[in-house]
Structure 1
Amino acid sequence: MVDYEVTVFTGDLAFASTFDNVYIKLVGKDESKRTLLPRSWMSPFFKGKVSHFTISCPAFLGKLTLIELDKQTKFFQDSWYLAKVEVTSPEGHTYHFPIYHWITDSDVHRFREGTALRIFEDNDSLDKYSRQQELQQQQKVYCWDVYEAGIPHCMKADSFLSLPCDIRFSLTKITEMAYTAAKGLAELELREIAECKENFTCIEDISHLLSAHRTETSDYVCQHWKEDAFFGYQFLNGVNPMLIQRCTSLLENFPVNDDMVFLHGQHSLADEMENGNIFLCDYKLLDGVQANTINGKKQYLMAPLVLLQKTPDDKLMPLAIQLKQKPGDENPIFVPTDSEYDWLLAKIFVKSADFNLYELSAHLLRIHLLAEVFTMSLLHNLPMVHPLYKLLKPHTRYTLQINYLARDLLLSKDGDLAKFTASGGEGVTTILQKSLSSLTYSSLCIPDDIAQRGLTDVPGFYYRDDGLKIWNIIHSFVSNVLRHYYKTDDEVQQDTELQNWIQEIFEHGFLSQESTGIPQKFSTVDEMVKFVTMVIFTCSAQHTAVNAGQYDFGAWMPNNPTSLQLPPPTEKGAANEKTMLDTFPDVNTTVHAMAITWLLSTQSSDRVLLGQYPEMHFTEEVPLQEILKFQENLKKLSADIKDRNKKLDLPYTYFDPEVIENSVSI
């Protein structure tokens, strides 16, 4: 007889324990008998517990390739979260079986030994298991669905309870989110006015809304929101740094001239454009979008054009604002020399447009919906032993459930977007469809995006500075890991599972639109590395950059109004403070928007940060060493960002690895 030492790790999650009888079979060239793992009066499979067993076999089993596990009801049917199993053979070799899976039934579950294998090198003969069988089972559990035509496809789910256990939130996250959602208005001390459908009558009333929950940034916004320099700053380092681009020629539908923007002829637009000092923000995707009705009042959503100039002291200052795309006598071009409230109101309409476009395009579409597509295709096409599955699985945590909740609570006809934003209702789908049609692969890759928008040398652009460093760190990590497994371009082309993954992303995420530039297949190692870098960057760093500051920049409502309820001015000289207050959203719209952005900006205590791997899917030395290098590089970048921020009046923190979550989970 020979003995195999088996170590079973039960996950440290709520309700991870099982009292059922657990059976195991070891499979190599030969296989052991199905063996009951012994138990005393207590279950050895309590949450967080590590249990040791000995399996005796008549003869050596050869190289272990598989274990079979099942559990049979002892007292009552329960679920068991199995983290991993380790098996030490008689000659002292330890085999690792990373699992991280809920076992909820009495079926036999098969798990491969943890060494990463691509399909064309997987030569182990396994009569009861194949990669294809695993994928077919996954495809039955995770089915594609169409939420709305013209937007990325999603996971089919009939109800919250129908979500697979493996993608659900932990009890900690469920509890914290439910508490934050239920108590949000109370925590912000806004419950008493949550149903007030009246206008604000003075700016001081808006100030009172911040009394309970303030941040360093929200205080700064409250103090500086009227300033042109801060208005320009936010296009670089606010929640939507995705729109601004260098302007090399004026648009025909934006007839700005030198006399409008430069007094006494001290500059010319032509010279300033040639010198690279003119920038444009164009909200054309909002043109023609039907605005919402809130509290029985028609709302207004503009599609502005904004021209900005980099000044000699390296500030980005607005030069001109046109609130509609089509020029005309009733669509004046506003400039800083206009009256105080004409100019301020023009900027307010821009900021409201920015909120609505950013929330649906830069945040929902380009992060959440694409992350869901990346996740679904991963589960459909890559088995657990595939190296790309092991690399990307940590970046899918909670994504499918948070997106289900977003569709149910935010996007639905009775959701929060319909209740509290100008783009709610029909506008949501229209903006998402137009945004997807205009989305490009290069815009998802920050080095390409920054270069194409002409922003490589703009001073004070911390989103760019930190984002490029994060991208490079991720790219180096991805490259080193994947090149360990893929030595040649031919190996990439041979990997049919990998090719199916990218093809399904192209079809379900980008609706087979070749104009997006999304690859339909990988021909080279470089192509694969770049795309996988984009996936990880999108699901982690980019999500934090556009999500974490929502309350910071939006808590002071005049800086980011979710809706406006007076039409834009058609002539100059008529606006005053009352006009501005009447244009702002009602009190209830404002306070509910504050509560929502506070919820979406609140991190869970069980978050997993970029570079952390509580679930270790890799078992080989090379990827494990690369993870350590990755962590060290992130730690150094965090220290550098903190040192830089000490010198800034308003620190830029959203690309600090210490706040970047590994996945889209909020």
Structure 2
Amino acid sequence: MVDYTVTVYTGDIANAGTFNNVYIKLVGTDGESKQTWLTSYIWNLSFIRGAVSSCTVSCPVSIGKLVLIEIEQHPLIFFTDSWFPAKMEVKSPEGDTYNFPIYRWITDNEVHRFREGTALRVFEDDHPLGKYSRDQELEEREEDYRWDVYLEGIPHSMRSEGPFDLPYEVQFSYIKSTEFLSTAATGLSDLQLTGLSESTENWPDMDTIHRVSCSKLTDISEYVQKHWKEDTFFGYQFLNGLNPMLIQRCSVLPINFPVSDDMVSFGCHRSLADEIKKGNIFLCDYKRLDGLKTNTINGKKQYLMAPLVLLHKTPDDEMVPIAIQLKQTPADDNPIFFPTDSEYDWLTVKIFVRSADFNEHQLNVHLLRTHLLAEVFAVSLLRNMPMVHPLYKLLVPHTRYTLQINNLARSSLISKTGVFTKFAASGGKGVKTLLKRSLSSVTYRSLCIPDDIADRGLGDVPNFYYRDDGLKLWDIIHRFVQGVLSFYYKNDTEVQKDSELQKWISDIFEHGFLSQAGTGIPEIFTTVAELVKFVTMVIFTCSGQHSAVNAGQFDYAGWMPNNPLTLQCPPPTTKGTTSEASMMKTLPAVNATVQGMSTVWLLSRQSTDSVFLGQYPVDHFSEKMPCKLMEDFQGELQVLSEAIADRNNNLKVPYTYLDPKVVENSVAL
């Protein structure tokens, strides 16, 4: 007889343990063991939460190199309770140790097969039972993770009846669920806004807004309150605020934005053409909002403009607005406004721009380009990649909680009764229209920050911290991905013949980008380099990019006048007609304001079980090389984090959203 020592690690998460009888069978290249009851001298405590227990499986002779294990549990008395085994290790009589990553809930008494941790691509998986278990796993996944069409013309989602209909392994943890529900339920009281959520009145003055906005100030939200009227801060936000994705260098003025030299002044006899030629003029064009059907809130029609904003980089390296046109079509009742106009003309016009930016940011930059695409990446991965595939091991940490948070977004934010639908200017029919328009603008290059920055002509803009930190983070991720994938794919031919890999990208092209070849998204992978770049984009989108457009929501939108989700009055059509009173009537009503504040408060709150970029509490890889590459990855992220902290020490407004210490591994919020 020969003995195999089996060590079982039960997950250290809420309700992970079981008192069921657990059985195991070892399957090797030369045979298999009998089904063996896993027990030890501590018996019913063997599989409690966080437990590590060892047992012996005996065989008449060696069964060769281990391929997989079969696990089955049976109720101790009347019912089967759930069990979350993290992993198992098996030490063979030859002295070899085999790792079996599991990290899944076992909720029934069926046979569950788990492969040895060494990554295997489909074309090298030659053991008959191994291939059978691989095919069976994918058949089950295709049933569990089904595509659905939430809205025609936008990326497809995962079909489910609600968050608790999702497979257990992609649901929130107990900690995440408890904290998220608590924050959602107590948001108004946490912000001391209880009693205001039903008020349809207008704000009487700015002092009143100040008083109700001071209970949960962050350092940045306090700065926003003090400086939101300033042109320099208005311009700064296009680079380092919630939406750094719209600004671009202006080489030619749009024909529908007729700004001329006699309208703007730069001093020293410099003309607009001179400044354009020097690369000092920048444009933000909200054309996707043009003609959007706006919401009705509290019985009042709401207003959302599609502005064009011209900005100038001053000799002091500040970005300031020099001209704003609120509608796309030039007309007598659509004047171009300038900083030299009256105080409330200029401030009101900037408020309309900030409201347009809020709606563009939330639906295009945040929801579509991070949440919805991350869901496509996740569903395609979970449908097409078995756990033993190297790409599954690399990418599954970047899918954590994404499917449930998106499910909640569809039910609580953009549903018929959702907060965004009820209180945002673009809520309702506008959501569908804007999402469809936005998808048509999503290209592969726009999702890859080095290409996007180059295409927008922003490579040398000073004080652009989103670009600086983002490019460094992209490079670190790219080196890590290149190291891991080059370890498994030695040449382009191996990429081309990996049918599971090709099905993954094919699903993404079809369900994420609706088979639109013009996006530049690859339909197939032909080279290792193509694969590395695409996987880098996926990880960056799910981690850094989401953090950049999500983490600062309360910082910048907690002070409503800086980011109003809707506006109640039309914009001025002639100059000199605005006042403080007209501006206050234009701002959103009390209930819309506090609902918006509560929502951005919720969406900015990380849970205590957050997993940050570079952290891998789940051991999917067994080979030494990818594990070493993970250590190197963590080291580079630490160096970047320290550099960001040093730089921020000298900034009035620190830029922290791409600091690896606060960037979550996945779209989890």
TM-score range for the pair, normalised by the shorter chain length: over 0.9
2:469 pairs with 1:466: yes
* 1:57 aligned residue: 59
SS at match of 1:191: coil
**One-letter amino acid of the counterpart of residue 462, structure 1:** Y
**One-letter amino acid of the counterpart of residue 71, structure 2:** L
1:124-159 CA-to-partner distances (Å, cap 9, x unmatched) read 231783422211110011110000100000000013
Q: Following the alignment from structure 1 to structure 2, what is the Cα–Cα distance between the partners of residues 275 and 413?
A: 49
Which of 192, 197, 204 aligns to 1:189? It is 192
Q: Following the alignment from structure 1 to structure 2, what is the Cα–Cα distance between the partners of residues 42 and 71?
A: 13
SS at match of 1:218: helix
**One-letter amino acid of the counterpart of residue 6, structure 2:** V
Which of 131, 154, 173 aligns to 1:151? It is 154
Contact residue 67 and residue 130 of structure 2 kept, 8 A? no
2:350 pairs with 1:375: no
| CA displacement at 1:122 relative to structure 2 | 1.4
1:294-325 CA-to-partner distances (Å, cap 9, x unmatched) read 11111001100000010101000101000000
Which of 208, 211, 222 aligns to 2:211? It is 208
2:96 pairs with 1:93: yes
* 1:37 aligned residue: 38
Contact residue 125 and residue 131 of structure 2 kept, 8 A? no
- Aligned pairs for 1:558-569 (under 5 A) are 558-569=561-572
Contact residue 308 and residue 327 of structure 2 kept, 8 A? yes
Cα RMSD, aligned residues only: 1.0
- Aligned pairs for 1:281-360 (under 5 A) are 281-360=284-363
Q: Following the alignment from structure 1 to structure 2, what is the Cα–Cα distance between the partners of residues 90 and 178?
A: 50
Contact residue 421 and residue 427 of structure 2 kept, 8 A? yes
Q: Following the alignment from structure 1 to structure 2, what is the Cα–Cα distance between the partners of residues 216 and 129?
A: 56
Contact residue 117 and residue 387 of structure 1 kept, 8 A? yes
SS at match of 1:598: helix
- Aligned pairs for 1:514-663 (under 5 A) are 514-663=517-666
Q: Following the alignment from structure 1 to structure 2, what is the Cα–Cα distance between the partners of residues 561 and 405?
A: 23
Contact residue 259 and residue 265 of structure 1 kept, 8 A? no
- Aligned pairs for 1:69-108 (under 5 A) are 69-75=71-77, 76-108=79-111
* 2:498 aligned residue: 495
Q: Following the alignment from structure 1 to structure 2, what is the Cα–Cα distance between the partners of residues 458 and 10?
A: 51
1:157-214 CA-to-partner distances (Å, cap 9, x unmatched) read 0133311111110110111011101111101101022211100111101101222100
Q: Following the alignment from structure 2 to structure 1, what is the Cα–Cα distance between the partners of residues 131 and 336?
A: 72
Which of 234, 238, 257 aligns to 1:235? It is 238
Q: Following the alignment from structure 1 to structure 2, what is the Cα–Cα distance between the partners of residues 42 and 85?
A: 18
| CA displacement at 1:420 relative to structure 2 | 1.4
Q: Following the alignment from structure 2 to structure 1, what is the Cα–Cα distance between the partners of residues 627 and 214?
A: 47
Contact residue 115 and residue 130 of structure 2 kept, 8 A? no
1:88-121 CA-to-partner distances (Å, cap 9, x unmatched) read 0011100000111000111000011010011111
SS at match of 1:562: coil
Q: Following the alignment from structure 1 to structure 2, what is the Cα–Cα distance between the partners of residues 230 and 207?
A: 19
Contact residue 110 and residue 129 of structure 1 kept, 8 A? no
Contact residue 155 and residue 400 of structure 1 kept, 8 A? yes
Cα 1:536/1:128, change in 2 over 3 Å: closer
| CA displacement at 1:557 relative to structure 2 | 0.7
Contact residue 164 and residue 171 of structure 2 kept, 8 A? no
2:3 pairs with 1:3: yes
**One-letter amino acid of the counterpart of residue 121, structure 2:** R
Q: Following the alignment from structure 1 to structure 2, what is the Cα–Cα distance between the partners of residues 4 and 129?
A: 24
2:397 pairs with 1:385: no
Cα 1:329/1:447, change in 2 over 3 Å: same
SS at match of 2:23: strand
* 1:198 aligned residue: 201
- Aligned pairs for 1:110-259 (under 5 A) are 110-126=113-129, 129-259=132-262
| CA displacement at 1:515 relative to structure 2 | 1.2
Q: Following the alignment from structure 2 to structure 1, what is the Cα–Cα distance between the partners of residues 60 and 266?
A: 95
Gaps of at least 5 residues in structure 1 are none
SS at match of 1:101: coil
**One-letter amino acid of the counterpart of residue 221, structure 1:** V
Q: Following the alignment from structure 1 to structure 2, what is the Cα–Cα distance between the partners of residues 398 and 20?
A: 28
| CA displacement at 1:563 relative to structure 2 | 0.3
SS at match of 1:626: helix
Contact residue 163 and residue 171 of structure 2 kept, 8 A? no
1:27-55 CA-to-partner distances (Å, cap 9, x unmatched) read 00200001111255623100111110011
SS at match of 1:239: coil
Q: Following the alignment from structure 2 to structure 1, what is the Cα–Cα distance between the partners of residues 74 and 133?
A: 24
Identical amino acids, percent of aligned pairs:
63
Which of 403, 419, 438 aligns to 2:422? It is 419
Which of 424, 446, 449 aligns to 1:446? It is 449
**One-letter amino acid of the counterpart of residue 204, structure 1:** D
Q: Following the alignment from structure 1 to structure 2, what is the Cα–Cα distance between the partners of residues 128 and 501?
A: 18
1:401-421 CA-to-partner distances (Å, cap 9, x unmatched) read 100000010110110111111
**One-letter amino acid of the counterpart of residue 595, structure 1:** S
Q: Following the alignment from structure 2 to structure 1, what is the Cα–Cα distance between the partners of residues 423 and 553?
A: 15
Q: Following the alignment from structure 2 to structure 1, what is the Cα–Cα distance between the partners of residues 605 and 645?
A: 21
Q: Following the alignment from structure 1 to structure 2, what is the Cα–Cα distance between the partners of residues 596 and 639?
A: 31
SS at match of 2:56: strand
Contact residue 138 and residue 380 of structure 1 kept, 8 A? yes
**One-letter amino acid of the counterpart of residue 26, structure 2:** L
SS at match of 1:126: helix
| CA displacement at 1:597 relative to structure 2 | 0.1
Contact residue 18 and residue 78 of structure 1 kept, 8 A? yes
**One-letter amino acid of the counterpart of residue 196, structure 1:** S
Contact residue 113 and residue 133 of structure 2 kept, 8 A? no
* 2:14 aligned residue: 14
| CA displacement at 1:269 relative to structure 2 | 1.3
Q: Following the alignment from structure 1 to structure 2, what is the Cα–Cα distance between the partners of residues 304 and 449?
A: 22
1:456-476 CA-to-partner distances (Å, cap 9, x unmatched) read 000000000000000000000
Contact residue 337 and residue 349 of structure 2 kept, 8 A? yes
**One-letter amino acid of the counterpart of residue 31, structure 2:** D
1:337-366 CA-to-partner distances (Å, cap 9, x unmatched) read 000000101100000000001000000000
List structure 1 segments (4+ residues) > 3 angstroms apart after TM superposition: none
TM-score after normalising by structure 2 = 0.99
Contact residue 2 and residue 61 of structure 2 kept, 8 A? yes
SS at match of 1:591: helix
SS at match of 1:371: helix
**One-letter amino acid of the counterpart of residue 12, structure 1:** D
Q: Following the alignment from structure 1 to structure 2, what is the Cα–Cα distance between the partners of residues 38 and 214?
A: 54
Contact residue 68 and residue 130 of structure 2 kept, 8 A? no
Q: Following the alignment from structure 1 to structure 2, what is the Cα–Cα distance between the partners of residues 188 and 440?
A: 39
| CA displacement at 1:20 relative to structure 2 | 0.9
| CA displacement at 1:265 relative to structure 2 | 7.6
Q: Following the alignment from structure 2 to structure 1, what is the Cα–Cα distance between the partners of residues 494 and 17?
A: 42
How many residue pairs end up in the alignment? 666
1:528-587 CA-to-partner distances (Å, cap 9, x unmatched) read 000000000000011100000000001111100000000011000000000110000001
